[in-house]
Structure formats: structure tokens, C-alpha cells
Structure 1
């Protein structure tokens, strides 16, 4: 019985020390002392945006006959899976006079991906049920089946002008 009490007291002391260290570290961060850069908070408004449009990961270039388009990818599991397959050449085609679509050689992972997007001009997404990449050149209605991969920073107009089925080389760029 005495051994159990000693072990319990020792465990309580260790937990108390950890709690004090944790609280002290948080206080230092709030005061702008060393360690402040390790604690990051975001206003609630930005947090809500981050759930559908995550932070930037990398840029990709889509090269096709007649031009090129550049997109900045979000940092999410599906975008990272796409980057792992690059470079890649795919056949794109128009769908519904709203978007250009292509099918990667395998379905992209959507585990822990942020689903749901109301696409606007320049959005790059994955339509999960069909497994296709989507480059929006017109806005469209909200879909919970879309994973937002990123946004085009240039060239979406050139991509939109492409007719029929056409080849696109996708590669990561710096």
C-alpha cells in the first residue's frame, strides 16, 4: 500500500511539473518572449476559411499546345498525392462549358481531405466520385464531392480556349 502511495505521489509530481512547464511556455509566447514563434493562433474567420482552402504547398505548371497555366496547390493530403505523381501527361477535355477535366492514372487519396467547395473561376479541384481533376474556367454551384486542390494564378483563360481533347503536361515548378 505504501509503495502505491509513493508511486502515485511521484506521478502526480511529474504531471504537475509538466503542467507548469506547459503553462509557462504559453505565457512566454503570449508576452512575445523566446518561444513565441512556436505558438500560432488564427482568428476564427481565417480558421473557417482554412477548412476549405488550406495553406499553400507548391506551384504546378500545366503545359499544352498554345500555352501554359500555373496553379498554386493547397497543403492537403489530396494535393500532396497529386504532387507525388508528377510529372504527368494527361488528356483534358471540356465538361459542361464550365470546366476542363482529366483522369489521373490512379485515384488520388482523399483520406483526411477537406471536402466541399463552391468553385469559382480558376479553382483547381478533384471530383472525388469520378476521380477526375477539374480546372474551373467558370464558377459553379457548391458540391460536397469536391476537394479543393488549389487555384490558378495564370493561364486559365488559355486553358479555357482549348477545344476537344488535348494533352497537358503537369509538373511541379519553383
Structure 2
């Protein structure tokens, strides 16, 4: 499954895993919101509705470029730095490139849409 992050100056693609959580996420697309910087490690945004945790592990470790869902808060996470294990974190996929677009400080407006 492919998605696009559409910014005002460029587009970044990503490949998602095939899982119940990912299918729930795809069903909410397209989405437009501000990605907020969190802990100088990741960009986050709250989804309109929570994703299922069916079949998901209790948590995962993440690397820069990973796209995840943090179930306790109901938010989408795009990691731009490596991150250790977190309970409640579900990996949805990975950026195909363009990680540098996510590393600027502060928030950024983006539209996420299906690329298929």
C-alpha cells in the first residue's frame, strides 16, 4: 500500500504494511492537518478516529523514517530520529525517502492521501 504526504513544496511517498491497523488508517484518507513536532524526534497528528489494535504487538522500537500509530493517544507518528521501544506503538510502514522534509522544527501542514 502506497501513500503520499503532500506538502506545499514537495511530495513524499511511503509504503505501508498490510495489517488491520493500516487498513483502518487508509480508510480515513485523505487527511489534512498540521504535523506537530514532538520531543525533537517525531512529528505527530491526531487522527479523526482510533485505529484497531487487532493483531498488533504490544509495542515496537522505531527507526527514522518509520510511520507508526501510538494507540494510547490515538495519534499518527512519523519518526525522523531513531526511537527505542514504546508500549502501545504500532508500526504502519516506512517513508520511501524524503525524511529531511520532516526534520524542520515546528509544525507543518500536510495532506496524506492514497497513492494507488
Which of the five TM-score ranges fits, normalised by the shorter chain? over 0.9
Q: How do 1:1-174 and structure 2 match up within 5 A?
A: 58-161=1-104, 163-174=105-116
**Higher strand proportion, which one?**
2
User: Tell me, what secondary structure is at the counterpart of 1:154?
Assistant: coil
Separation of aligned partners in 2, 1:114 and 1:69: 27
What is the rounded CA distance, in whole Å, between the counterparts of 1:133 and 1:167 in structure 2? 14
Q: Report the TM-score when normalising by structure 2.
A: 0.92
> Which has the larger Rg?
1
Residues 56-81 of structure 1 deviation map (CA, whole Å, 9 limit, x = unaligned): xx011011133222110001111000
Structure (1/2) with the larger helix percentage: 1
Structure 1 Cα separation of the partners of residues 76 and 33 of structure 2: 10
Deviations 1:50-108 (A, max 9, x none): xxxxxxxx011011133222110001111000001111112211000100001111111
Query: Which segments of 5 or more consecutive residues in structure 1 lack a partner in the other structure?
Result: 1-57
Count of paired positions: 116
CA distance in structure 2 between the aligned counterparts of 1:114 and 1:151, rounded to whole angstroms: 17
> Structure 2 regions of 5+ residues with no counterpart?
none
Larger RCO (CA within 8 A; separation ≥ 6): 2
Counterpart Cα distance in 1 of 2:56 and 2:17: 11
SS in structure 2 of the partner of residue 78 of structure 1: helix
